[in-house]
Every structure is written in C-alpha cells, then in structure tokens.
Chains A and B, each alone.
Chain A
Amino acid sequence: MKQTARIISTYSADVMGVCSALYELGGMTVMHDASGCNSTYTTHDEPRWSDQDSMVFISGISEMEAIMGDDEKLIGDIEEAAKELHPRFIAVAGTPIPTMTGFDFEAVASVIEQRTGIPAFGFPTTGMNTYIHGASMALEGIAERFVRPPEGPVYPGSRIRVNILGLTPLDFSTNGTDASIVKWLRGNDFEVVSKWAMGCSLDELACAGVADVNLVISAAGLGAGRVMYHKFGIPSVIGLPIGPKQSEYLSDALTRTAEGYRMMRMSGVEDGFSGLTSIKIHPNDLDPVHKEEMVVLIGEGITNFSLANSIRFETGHKTKVLCATECPAGILREWDVMTPDEDDIIPELADAAYIIADPMYKPICPDTAKFIPLPSEAFSGRLYRDDIPDLIAHPEIILEQIEDSDVSSAKEAEISENADSSRKTDETVRSEAAENSVRNTRGKSGGRAARR
C-alpha cells in the first residue's frame, strides 16, 4: 500500500530542508510548529548544530493559537527575537498545522518585514514533502531576493565562473565533499563564485549573478537555478563529478554551456544554450554497458544518476535509479523510476545484482543482491554519519565494491560482450536540455538583464 513503511526510514521533510539550506546565511528560520520539528532537525538532520552558530527556532504554536488563528502571537515573538538577535533575514517555514489552518505565509512575512525592517520570507512547506522541496524553495527565495544581476562585460577566454547549487549536509554531510567539488572545479580551470549554501555568506551568494553557469549537484539547487535562468539567463548543468568519465563529460558540459551563455550575453542571441542540462546516457553505439548484472541505486535523484552514470562508465554494468525524493521530470534517465514509498521500491529490486542505498533500506532488499551501503544524512540522520563517503574524492569506495566482487565473472562478462556486440552499439553519452520549458518561458526581463 502507498504511504506505508513497515521498516524503512523516512526522508527529512521540506521544513527541515528550508532550515538546512539557510543555516549558514545569518538569517533566523522559524519552524511554525507545536514541538518536535526543532529537536528532530537539530538531532538528526543538522550535523553543524553543535559547531556552528545559527538561528533556527520553533514557534511552539498551541492548540488555542491554531484554533483562534492567532498569527499575532507568532509575529510578536519573531519581532522580539529579531530585536535581540539581529538576523540578516527572517524565514517562516510551515508544518502540517499551519497547512491545515490555511496560514498565509506571504502575508505574515510581509507584516514581519514591515515591522522589523528585515527581509522576510514565508515558505509554505507542509511537512509532507521531502527536504528537497523545502531546500529548493528556500534557495530559490534567496536567489530571487538577494542575487544581483551580472555587471560588466564578458571576456572571452577568461576562466569560466561557476555557482554550485544544492549543497546541503542532508545530501553531502560535512565530510569534505563540498571542498572536493570546489577542488575538482578549480582543477578543471573553473572559478567558483558561490556555493549554495555551505561555506558561503549571504553576501557571497548575492554575487552569484556574475557566474557563467550553475552546477546543480542536487535537486535542492534546481529552484535557485531556475531563478537565475529566468532573471539573468544563467544556465545550469546538472550532475556530480563522480569517477573519471562522468567528471570528464560534466566538465565538458559546463564549458559548452557556459560558452553558450557568454555568446548569448555578447551577441544577445538566445539560441544555442539551454536552461538546465543533464548528463545522460542514451542509446547509441558508445554504450558502455557490457555486463548484464543490474546495479540499482536508491536515494536522491541527482547524486544517484551521477553515480549510476559513473558505474556504467567505469564498470560496464546496467544501472537503474530509484528516486525516493522529488525530482522534476526530464532530469532522470528514462529507465529510472520515481519511488516515494516502500511498496514502490520492493518490486524494482527483484532483478538487482547490486543494491546501493542507505543501510536503512537493507531490510527490504533481497538476499540475492549484494548490498552496498551508501548512507545518506537525509534518510538515516546521524546513525551512519561517520560512514558517509566523499564520492567526489573517492568514487572507488563504491566502484571497487562492484568491480571487486565481479572479478570472478570478468571472463564471463567478456564472453557475453562478444556474443552480444550488437546490443551495445545503440547507446551513447550526451548532454541534454532537461527542462526546455524553462528556456521557452523565460521572462523578457531576464533576457534584458542577461544582455546588459
């Protein structure tokens, strides 16, 4: 049955995604909830809680306040706290109770902003979607409100400037993955403008408009990418640099996409570049698959399709992503599956030879598959935090587990490859515009801004 989970965990919710995305930006985030969300977030979703200051609080709404629609209590409490704490901005994020009572987030944010003089956001999260939804909404809000338009001329041949979008500990923990992404970009001669939103201040994010391209590393970055495209025409490339071949294609896609953007800014012609670009593997004669065993990956869409690509390139296995969090249409590969519930996942595992997933999925995995643990803060919280790998610096942590266990069958795979050479002549790798609708509906003001 949909919506039931006999034994697996549940993903961090949208309201926590808002908190995580805004954590380091100097704002005050208020979860409008009775109790519980705050301790859950600080215990299971936020590895920075004890080491890094931030202002994440809960409203503590009571039964009577909910019934009587007493928004004034919340507004007054926020005003009082803001006077003491001086946040750069204020964000109110929702949970099931305000969802039910029809709380007007936009109006309340507007009142707070008028009274405090501090920029305020109302994020209508419900506590019923995953963190991706909330984090994307929050970063989108920051991009919309604070990012300044690009200024100055474009210099052809200068280093390509990149924003990293969708960087939160819920997907990347605090194990150095963020630094590894930066290192990879710099190593490929890119310049990092901003990181959304770990290791960057609000002021640094405000400069993101000078970038030539966004690298969207999780679906949490899609909202901000969309805003930057609508407002300034800055395109995005989706994917993570996991493993040599995937990284090579990603670097190439970033370069080509950025060059398209620069051409557009210099010439004013919009053809030749797209809003969101995803590195995909498509049927063609360069298909890297030469092994029949299926590798199934469960989790967040972008991390897992990037890892899946890498597995195909580096090991030659078939791969399938079971995406358990929100991911807009067109980003995943056509054979990947959206699986929000336990009962969606179980049948998809039947043909798996390997399963790569958070350890809390293991109880529903068939014994016939080799289980390769890949913990995710967003699913198992702090339980396996020490085991979350930096896949950018060390893709071999996963790849070798597939290759090692496959050594004995290498010969077999070779035979299979020879016997079925025609099969692998119909796939290739190419990048594809993942969201053409974004491009087609981009506002005129964005185009104008981009052409300045």
Chain B
Amino acid sequence: MLKKIDLGKNNNKTVIPGVRIADADFPAPFRSGLEYSSPARGTWNIVHTGMLIPEAHEIFVCAAGCLRGVVLTAAEMGASDRFSTVAVRENNLLDGDMEDLVVDGVTDIINKLPARPPAVLVYTSCVHHFTGVDLDMIYERLRERFPDIDFTDCYMNPIMRKSGLTPDQLMRSRLYTLLKKRPADRSAAAIVGNDLPTRKDSDLIKLLEGAGLKVHEITSCRSYEEYQEMAESAVFISNYPDAVTGADMLAERLGAVHCHLPYSFDYDEIDEGFRQLADLLAANCETAESDSGLRPLLGSLLEEIRSGGREACGRAYEETLKLIGDTPLAIDYTYCPRPLGLARALLDHGFNVQRVYLDGIPAADKKDFEYLRNNYPELMLHPTVHTAMRFAQTATEQGAALISSGSQQSSAASDIEDAPLVLAIGQKAAHFENTDHFVNLVEGGGMNGYEAVTGTLGLMREAFLHSKPMRELIQVKGLGCEVCVR
C-alpha cells in the first residue's frame, strides 16, 4: 500500500541511510529528526531496573499515555502486584495541585496494598519537571506519613534525555539511594549498576572470589535486607558506563571507594582495568585468604586471568573465524556498551564486519572510532531511529539477494547447510538485517574481561550454526528479566 522508500538516485533499490565511518562525525554521525521505533525490545527500561530492589513497590505518577508502557511492562514481567499508578489529568496541570496529587495518590495506594512494602519508588515525569513541582516537599510529607517505608525519587523524564544525566544513568543511580550506611566490611565488595547478573565464570567474579571477598550484587538479592547488606561493601565496582555516575555518588555517600572496570574487547585495556581494580582492592580490602595483605594473591590472580584469558581468546578467534569465514557481520549498540570496540576487535582478527547500527557514538568508544576511521574507512554506520529505517528490512532483503547471487558468499559458510548470508550481533541488527542467525543478548549479558571476548565469539558460533525465531524473540521486553509474554 505504501510507497517504498527510494533514497537511491537512479535505481529501484530501497536504500537505508548510512555513512562510511571515515565520513562520520563524533559523537553524532546522523542529524536528529523524526524517530522510528524498531520492534527490538530486549533492552531494559526503568520498570525492570527498579524491580531489582527486592520487595520494593513502584508507583508511577504520569499522564495515561505515559503510564501505558510501564504498566504493561510490569504486567509482562509478572510484577503487577508490585506496581501502581496515579494518573495526571489536565485539571491537575491547571489547578496547580500536583503536589497534593502525588502525596495523596501515593498514600491512597500504600493504604490499599495487602502488605506494607519496605521501600517505595515514586516515579515522577516530564510534567512535574515542567510545572516546577516541589519534590522535596512531596518526599518530606510522604516520609512523615510513612516513617516505616523508605522512599526514593525516580524519574520517567525522557524529555531530559538530551540534557544532563540520561534517564538510564539516573535510574541506575536511584537504585542505590536507599542503601543505608552501616559499618564497612573490608572483606566485602559490590558490583553495582548492572541490570543483568555478572556471570559466575566471568573474570571479575574469578578475581573477587579468588581473593576471598564476599561479593554483593543487586541481581542476586532476594530480600530487602539482603539488598541493604550491599552497603557494607568496602569497594563498589561498576562495569557498565551508564552506572559510573551513580556508583560515584553511592561510594561518596557511604564513605567507600568506587572502581570502574571498563567493558572492553581490547586485551591491554582489559588488563589495565583489572590492574587498577586490584590496586584498589589491595588498598581497601582484607580477607582470611592472605595474612600478608591481598596484593600478592591479587597479583597471581591477575596473571592467571591475563594469560588464561589471552590464550582462550586466541583459540576462540581462530575457531570462530574458521567457521564463519568472511560472512558479513552486523553489530548494533544494544548488544554491549562498546559496539565499535567489538567491531574493531573482530576486524583486526579478520572478520568481515560490514555494518554497525547506532545513533550516537558512546564516549567510551571514541578511541575505537578514530582507529576504525583510519584503518577500516569503509565500515558503514547506520542509524536505528531514522524514519527511513522503518523500511530497512526491505532494503536488506534486496542486499541479501545480491549477496546470494554474487561472490560475497563466505567460502567457509558454503560448506554448511543453511549458512546465514549475514550474522547479526544484537537484536536491532538482527531486525534490520532480517536474519534469524543472530546473537540475542543485551547490555553485554553480564560478561566482562576476557570472558566477554570468548563469550561473544561462542555466541557468534552458536548463532551461525543455529537459527532462532528472531521476530518473536526480539519483541520480548527486558531480555533476561522475568517475563510472561506468551
């Protein structure tokens, strides 16, 4: 029914917007305009993240149109009983009674709950921001009315996504504001800011547990008291870039230290991150494992991680390249916080990365961006929200047809029945490439260190060999979170 997009000048092919990385600007390679929303829904939203606090109740105070998405997020994850709403209506904007609406609405809901929650997360929205609502007064009154409940201020404030802290950074910071200061335990450390649990076989866990440290993480807390125990940690470790600000605030408030261990695919950067973490742990922690201080033990653990990791990565790259060959690869920014870092690592190891889907270049990827511009100038960057991306699947289908009829077919892949024409790493890349051969993971999947490299390569091999129903899988909200979509 609709006219298909033809952005090419002299052919009938559908063309998707994109730019050679050599011609791209940092950090915004594309002009902002109207935005399209792809059906890939695996990334977490503020409802999923808030639910990580065990036993807490979420109350959103917004217009109905804004409530719709969050109330159904809670329903789909089977958490409607931990979620309530207060609808803002036009009269509230005109009457200036927004503070009363929040306080009375939250009070009404708490009084109706079958059991008193230990904590309530109150999410206000853009309308409160624009009407200058006195949030301090609201929380003061709520704390007076319910002294047995811990309240924290959360925000569904997307209009601020281009100024100040992003909603994602803000939510990751609010998640730990309820931790109450308690005596520090120098044998405890906490990983903060992750939505997904850090994998038990990750290098970070190997280091911390190898040193005999007790490891806290919100994703493993089963009760509000367990959550509060995180506050005893001597060192807080963040691994996700958007968690840095919140972790800094948390460590400062509790009188602890924060170490950011960058998510990376670069061997030297991985080693340097772990070295800095080990220094901080040695200075701030002590455990029964080492009477003479942690430093020697940490040193040997670091060496084990370094040598073992590099060796494992080398084997994994070799095995994966042998299997995948020059099959075109597409990566998107939802897979991990360093999409260009991943592209660089794969290209340097001989893989055929053709496209990266992103709307902005993460600050952490700046060095990789410069490197790729100079060494792989033909790498294409494509937006995910540009209006023409609505029709991108059509374009990639045409591209795939060209590939299948041309000489770009991987020689390694030609030996495998049903080998993919393109392998996608991330849900949005899978959608735009219209392929069932994809790595279905978001936010780095709880991997870090060398294990992020070997893990990614392992998932690529698995995705290459086995297709899965992309359309059904990518529409599930909050991948890795409890869901009940049938």
- Known contacts A30-B34, A81-B387; decide if A130 and B64 are in contact (CB<8 Å): yes
On chain A, the residues within 8 Å of B37 by CB distance are 38-39, 41-42, 58
**Quick check: is A111 within 8 A (CB to CB) of the other chain?**
no
On chain A, the residues within 8 Å of B41 by CB distance are 39, 43
Write the chain A residue with the least CB distance to B475: A43
On chain B, the residues within 8 Å of A97 by CB distance are 126-127, 130, 159
**Quick check: is B145 within 8 A (CB to CB) of the other chain?**
no
On chain A, the residues within 8 Å of B83 by CB distance are 7
Q: Is the CB of B71 within 8 A of A9?
A: yes
Shortest beta-carbon distance from A196 to chain B in Å: 16
**Quick check: is B347 within 8 A (CB to CB) of the other chain?**
no
Write the chain B residue with the least CB distance to A343: B108
A33, A57, A101, A386: which contacts B36 (Cβ < 8 A)?
A57
On chain A, the residues within 8 Å of B9 by CB distance are none
Q: Is the CB of B65 within 8 A of A128?
A: yes
**Quick check: is A35 within 8 A (CB to CB) of the other chain?**
yes
On chain A, the residues within 8 Å of B24 by CB distance are none
**Quick check: is B35 within 8 A (CB to CB) of the other chain?**
yes
Within 8 A of B (CB), among A81-137: 81, 84-86, 95-97, 99-101, 126-130
On chain B, the residues within 8 Å of A381 by CB distance are 68, 72
On chain A, the residues within 8 Å of B80 by CB distance are 7, 360, 363
Q: How many residue-residue contacts, CB under 8 A, span A and B?
A: 209
Contact mask for chain A residues 18-34; partner B; CB cutoff 8 A; 1 contact, 0 none: 00000010100010011
On chain A, the residues within 8 Å of B484 by CB distance are 383
Inter-chain CA distance A34–B125, complex, in Å, is 11
- Known contacts A4-B109, A127-B66; decide if A43 and B390 are in contact (CB<8 Å): no
Within 8 A of B (CB), among A1-55: 1, 3-7, 9-16, 24, 26, 30, 33-45, 49-50, 52-55
On chain B, the residues within 8 Å of A50 by CB distance are 39, 471, 475
**Quick check: is A201 within 8 A (CB to CB) of the other chain?**
yes
- Of the candidates A85, A95, A380, the one having the most CB atoms from chain B within 10 angstroms of its own CB is A85
Within 8 A of A (CB), among B151-177: 156, 158-163
A-B contact pairs, 23 of them (CB 8 A): A3-B86, A4-B87, A4-B105, A6-B112, A9-B75, A10-B71, A15-B65, A34-B126, A38-B37, A40-B68, A43-B69, A44-B72, A50-B471, A53-B1, A54-B390, A58-B34, A60-B32, A60-B35, A60-B385, A84-B387, A97-B126, A127-B64, A386-B486
Chain B residues in the interface with A (C-beta under 8 A)? 1-5, 7, 32-37, 39, 41, 62-69, 71-72, 75-76, 80-81, 83-90, 93, 101, 104-105, 108-109, 112-113, 125-127, 130-131, 156, 158-163, 385, 387-388, 390-391, 471, 475, 477, 484-486
- Beyond known contacts A61-B159, A128-B65: 11 more, CB 8 A cutoff: A6-B109, A26-B2, A34-B158, A35-B35, A60-B34, A66-B130, A80-B33, A81-B34, A96-B127, A97-B127, A128-B64
